Every structure is written in structure tokens, then in C-alpha cells.
């Protein structure tokens, strides 16, 4: 009897991709995906440690599953991902009904481990070496790579795919746990990336997103040539079938002129640039161990908008970092105003034991102040997002039509426009090259032919996070 599995995923794109790969490999081994935990025999949590809140949520969910496991003793509970690598056997102590703890560098063993737990009912802990636990080459090797054939049934839609071009991170920003849980930075060989993207193109994928913690640090040397991110762009440009190339996340100092020119000149590369800056204050950036100043980041923005006039830049911010004063925070507000970001992800600082910031600084900004700063920054950003989106009204954009809109109903409320009568038309959603969501109506009988195509549309309305448009006949 094949077992049913359910994967719950939190965290960044790395985890989203890992969950897709894990699901595909479990399906290959004969397991069936189900749509809710209650139908599953194997429940897997793909976890994130970047903030305390993300961990607390998983532990409380695990707590709730105790009763479920008592009633279903043959069920298997697995904790994968960054929290598995970080907390190791502590997870078994805090949640004794967990069967498997599997680090992100051990993913390829997943089906075999689930099978063995099914048979032997023994707990399994498989993680990579900690960065201080051995020679760098041993640590690197302990983060095994896993790039299986993609399954079209897995993932948000069959027209887009993420492709990992690098693993790990060596930047060691003082607040960040990622370098310890994802291991040393390693770039994948271009040949492997090319082969994977050719396969994805053969499956009918139109858009690939190259992912890594700092994709613009990509560097791979072979045969006397050193490949950088822009060389990957040029290679993918030649792959028939792929129409769009996206890439996330970028580290500010890696945005060289060569890279910006490649974004401008290589037609398939979309002008969407996610470049987290974290703070607008030099003293905070120094404490964060970011390797640039606010002025350098402003110069970068100037260079971007001068080189790529239609660039859509997005950023991440941490508010309430250790010692952040009102003045320092105000410098961040100023930078958001200057940046004209399409949108920003704003986080309240969360102290991560084991990081430099946890060791060196006091987490001394009260939560109420963090919350206030978060809301204030978000309000400034949302006004800018709305303004930028309004500029699209009347313009024509190309959208990759992904499927039926889930958020359409909500956005309609916001704009106080009537949703279309559902029997005549459906609302579809897609993305522009600059990563804006566009919602539009399509006749019911026609909508299936539109999904999975790149089509022109005219924008008619705008909300801060959504554009509304009409397909051009």
C-alpha cells in the first residue's frame, strides 16, 4: 500500500524548491501527495530558522500533532530544512513523536530514510557537519547536492521553475543564521545548470528563476574561464523555449556594471532586481556586517535606473536591530523614499543564538518599538508601491498567464469594483517581466487556452500589489 504524504513549507525560495524536489522524489518512490495533513501517513515540515517566530510556529504545530500520532502510531513525522540542521537532536527532545530529522544538505536520502523508518520504526537523524566541525572540504561535501529530474505535477504551475545555481552563503551578516545552516557557498557547474534548464524547456517551462542566497556572487572556474551570473544569462538566452530569466537574491556589492548591462542587453533577462539593503544607516550596516554604505547603495540605485530605465527594484529591511536609534531608523525611511522600490519585505530583528550579533550586541529595541517602526516603514513603502503601480494605468504589458486568480476577490473589495459574474468569465492572473501581478477577466470557455502563454494586456486599474488589466485581442 503506498503511503500518503503532506509537506508543509516555510522559509525562502530554497525551501520552496527543496520541498518540490522532496515531493518529486517521494512520488518517484511510490508515495502519494495529499492536500491536507489529516489524510497523510507521512507529514514533513520543511523548516526555516531565519527568525524565532518561524521556529516557534513549527514547534507548536509539532506539539499539536502529538495527539494525532498517539491515535495513528504508524504515521511518520519528519522535520527537514534549516531548523533540522540547527536544532538537531533537540527536536527529538522537544517533540519525542518526531521520527526523522533531516538537514537541507541530506535531502537526497529522504525516500530511503522514510522507507527505513516505515520498516524498522527507528528514529533517524541525518544532518551535515557544522562549519567548525571539520576541514572546509569535508564540511562542503557534507552538504550533498540534490538535483533530480523535475516532476511537472509538483510546483505552483508547469510554466515556471526555480533552478538553484548556488548553495550556502559565506557573507556572515552578523544577524543571520543562514551561513551556519546552509553551509559554505558553492556554485554549481554551468554544464549542470544548462542541462537542467534544457530539460525544463523540454517540459514546456517558459520562465526560469535562478536562485541562491547571493546569486550575483556566482563564480565557477573551468578550462581557463570563470563563469559569472551574466555568463549564465548568455548561455540561457540560447535555450529555445525559455522566454524569461529571473534571478534572486542579490548582494548589493555584486551588482557590477557588467551585470547591469547584461540585464539590459540580454533580451530574456527580466528587469526585476531584488537587492536587500537591510538598513539606511551606516552605523547599523556596520553592526550588521554588511559590506557597503548607504551612499554606495544609493549610487547603485542611480546606476540601475540610469542603465535599466524600466528596472523594478525590491529590497529587504530589518527594523529594530541592536542599538537602532530613532535617527538611524529615520535614515532607513529616507532610503526607502529614495529607492522607489517596487516593494519591500520588512522584518523585525529576531536574535539568533549562534550568530555574531547575538554574541556581541544587546537585543535592546523593545518589541513595541520594532512593531511601530515596521508599520511606519511599511506605510511609506506601500504609498510608493501604489504610486509606481498607478503609472502603469493605460500602458501595455506582457503577462505570463499562470492560472485562475486566488486573490482577485480581495483586491476587488479594495477597489470597490464588482467582480465579474462567474458564469460568464473567470479572473486569471499572471506576472509582468518586472514581477508585477496582473489580474484580468477572460471568457470562461476561452480561459484554458490562455493559461501558459505570454500575452499583451492593457492596464486599467492599480492597487499597491496588483494591477488589473484587459487582454489585447
Number of residues that bind ligand SF4 (CB under 6 A): 10
Collect all residues with Cβ–Cβ distance below 8 Å to 322 and sequence separation of at least 6.
287, 349, 357, 361, 362, 363, 364, 365
Pick from 42, 80, 107, 178: which binds ligand SAH (CB under 6 A)? 178
Give the range of 127-135, 165-173, 234-242, 419-427 binding ligand SF4 by CB under 6 A.
Answer: 165-173
Q: Does 14 bind ligand F3S (CB under 6 A)?
A: yes
Q: Does 463 bind ligand F3S (CB under 6 A)?
A: no
| Cβ–Cβ under 8 Å, residues 101 and 126 | yes
Q: Does 15 bind ligand SAH (CB under 6 A)?
A: no
Pick from 7, 15, 42, 244: which binds ligand F3S (CB under 6 A)? 15
Residue 102 pairs with which residues in a beta bridge? 80, 126
Q: Does 171 bind ligand SF4 (CB under 6 A)?
A: yes
Which own/partner contact pairs does 293-299 have at CB distance under 8 Å and 24+ positions apart? 294/331, 294/335, 296/252, 296/253, 297/252, 297/335, 298/335, 298/338
Q: Is 459 exposed, middle or buried (0-12, 13-18, 19+ CB in 10 A)?
A: buried
Query: In which element (H, E) is residue 81 found?
Result: strand 76-81
Grouping H, G, I as helix, E, B as strand and the rest as coil, residue 170 is: coil
Cα 288 to the center of its chain, rounded Å: 21
312 interacts with, out of ligand F3S, ligand SAH, ligand SF4, none, CB within 5 to 8 A per kind: none
Q: Does 277 bind ligand SF4 (CB under 6 A)?
A: no
Pick from 83, 113, 139, 169: which binds ligand SF4 (CB under 6 A)? 169
Collect all residues with Cβ–Cβ distance below 8 Å to 95 and sequence separation of at least 6.
59, 62, 63, 65, 66, 77, 79
Pick from 43, 78, 173, 434: which binds ligand SF4 (CB under 6 A)? 173
Smallest distance from ligand SF4 to CB 316, Å: 8
Q: Which is nearer to ligand F3S, 178 or 229 (CB)?
A: 178
Q: Which is nearer to ligand SAH, 98 or 259 (CB)?
A: 259
Pick from 23, 100, 165, 181: which binds ligand F3S (CB under 6 A)? 181
Report in angstroms the alpha-carbon separations of 219 from 120, 133, 169, 229, 245.
Answer: 43, 25, 13, 7, 18
| Cβ–Cβ under 8 Å, residues 470 and 460 | yes
Q: Which is nearer to ligand SAH, 48 or 459 (CB)?
A: 48
Q: Does 50 bind ligand F3S (CB under 6 A)?
A: yes
Report in angstroms the alpha-carbon separations of 66 from 69, 71, 72, 98.
Answer: 5, 9, 10, 9
Pick from 46, 109, 213, 279: which binds ligand SF4 (CB under 6 A)? 213
Pick from 6, 11, 188, 218: which binds ligand F3S (CB under 6 A)? 11
| Cβ–Cβ under 8 Å, residues 165 and 193 | yes
Smallest distance from ligand SF4 to CB 312, Å: 20
Grouping H, G, I as helix, E, B as strand and the rest as coil, residue 455 is: strand
Cα 24 to the center of its chain, rounded Å: 19
109 interacts with, out of ligand SAH, ligand SF4, ligand F3S, none, CB within 5 to 8 A per kind: none
14 interacts with, out of ligand SAH, ligand F3S, ligand SF4, none, CB within 5 to 8 A per kind: ligand F3S
| Cβ–Cβ under 8 Å, residues 183 and 131 | yes
| Cβ–Cβ under 8 Å, residues 428 and 447 | yes
Pick from 56, 96, 172, 424: which binds ligand SF4 (CB under 6 A)? 172
Q: Which is nearer to ligand F3S, 164 or 228 (CB)?
A: 164
Positions that interact with ligand SAH (CB under 6 A): 50-51, 175-176, 178, 213-214, 249, 251, 276, 278, 316, 318, 347, 349-350, 352
Positions that interact with ligand SF4 (CB under 6 A): 169, 171-173, 176, 178-179, 213-214, 251
Positions that interact with ligand F3S (CB under 6 A): 11-12, 14-15, 48-50, 81-82, 177-178, 181-182
Amino acid at each position: 500500500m503506498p503511503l500518503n504524504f503532506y509537506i508543509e513549507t516555510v522559509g525562502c525560495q530554497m525551501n520552496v524548491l527543496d520541498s518540490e524536489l522532496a515531493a518529486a522524489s517521494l512520488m518517484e518512490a511510490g508515495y502519494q501527495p495529499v492536500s491536507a495533513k489529516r489524510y497523510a501517513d507521512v507529514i514533513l515540515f520543511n523548516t526555516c530558522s531565519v527568525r524565532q517566530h518561524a521556529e516557534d510556529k513549527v514547534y507548536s504545530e509539532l506539539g499539536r500533532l502529538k495527539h494525532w500520532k498517539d491515535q495513528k502510531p504508524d504515521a511518520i513525522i519528519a522535520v527537514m530544512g534549516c531548523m533540522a540542521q540547527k536544532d538537531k537532536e533537540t527536536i527529538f527532545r522537544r517533540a519525542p513523536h518526531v521520527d526523522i530529522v533531516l538537514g537541507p544538505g541530506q535531502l537526497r536520502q529522504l525516500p530511503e530514510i522514510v522507507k527505513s523508518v516505515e520498516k524498522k520504526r527507528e528514529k533517524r537523524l541525518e544532518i551535515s557537519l557544522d562549519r567548525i566541525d571539520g576541514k572546509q572540504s569535508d564540511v562542503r561535501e557534507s552538504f550533498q547536492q540534490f538535483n533530480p529530474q523535475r516532476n511537472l505535477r509538483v510546483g505552483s504551475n508547469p510554466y515556471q521553475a526555480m533552478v538553484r545555481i548556488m548553495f550556502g552563503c559565506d557573507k556572515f551578516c552578523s544577524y543571520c543564521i543562514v551561513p551556519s545552516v546552509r553551509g559554505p557557498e558553492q556554485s554549481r557547474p554551468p554544464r549542470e545548470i544548462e542541462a537542467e534548464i534544457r530539460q525544463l524547456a523540454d517540459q514546456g517551462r517558459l520562465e526560469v528563476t535562478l536562485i541562491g542566497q547571493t546569486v550575483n556572487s556566482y563564480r565557477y572556474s573551468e578550462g581557463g574561464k570563470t563563469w559569472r551570473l551574466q555568463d549564465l544569462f548568455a548561455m540561457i538566452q540560447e535555450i529555445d523555449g525559455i522566454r524569461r530569466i529571473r534571478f534572486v537574491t542579490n548582494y548589493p556589492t555584486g551588482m557590477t556594471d557588467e551585470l547591469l548591462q547584461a540585464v539590459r542587453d540580454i533580451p530574456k533577462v527580466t528587469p526585476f532586481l531584488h537587492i536587500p539593503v537591510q538598513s539606511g544607516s551606516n552605523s547599523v550596516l556596520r553592526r550588521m556586517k554588511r559590506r557597503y554604505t548607504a551612499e554606495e547603495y544609493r549610487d547603485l540605485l542611480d546606476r540601475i535606473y540610469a542603465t535599466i530605465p524600466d528596472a523594478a527594484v525590491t529590497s529587504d529591511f530589518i527594523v529594530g536591530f541592536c542599538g537602532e536609534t530613532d535617527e538611524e531608523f529615520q535614515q532607513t525611511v529616507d532610503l526607502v523614499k529614495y529607492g522607489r522600490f517596487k516593494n519591500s519585505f520588512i522584518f523585525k530583528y529576531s536574535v539568533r543564538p549562534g550568530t555574531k550579533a547575538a554574541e556581541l550586541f544587546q537585543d535592546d529595541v523593545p518589541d513595541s518599538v520594532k512593531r511601530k517602526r515596521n508599520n511606519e516603514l511599511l506605510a511609506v513603502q506601500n504609498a510608493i508601491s501604489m504610486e509606481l503601480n498607478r503609472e502603469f494605468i493605460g500602458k501595455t504589458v506582457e503577462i505570463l498567464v499562470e492560472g485562475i486568480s486566488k486573490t482577485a476577490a480581495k483586491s476587488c473589495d479594495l477597489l470597490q469594483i464588482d467582480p465579474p459574474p462567474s458564469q460568464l468569465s473567470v479572473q486569471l492572473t499572471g506576472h509582468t517581466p518586472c514581477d508585477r501581478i496582473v489580474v484580468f477577466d477572460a471568457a470562461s470557455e476561452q480561459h484554458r487556452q490562455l493559461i501558459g502563454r505570454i500575452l499583451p494586456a492593457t492596464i486599467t486599474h492599480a492597487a499597491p500589489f496588483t494591477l488589473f488589466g484587459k487582454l489585447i485581442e
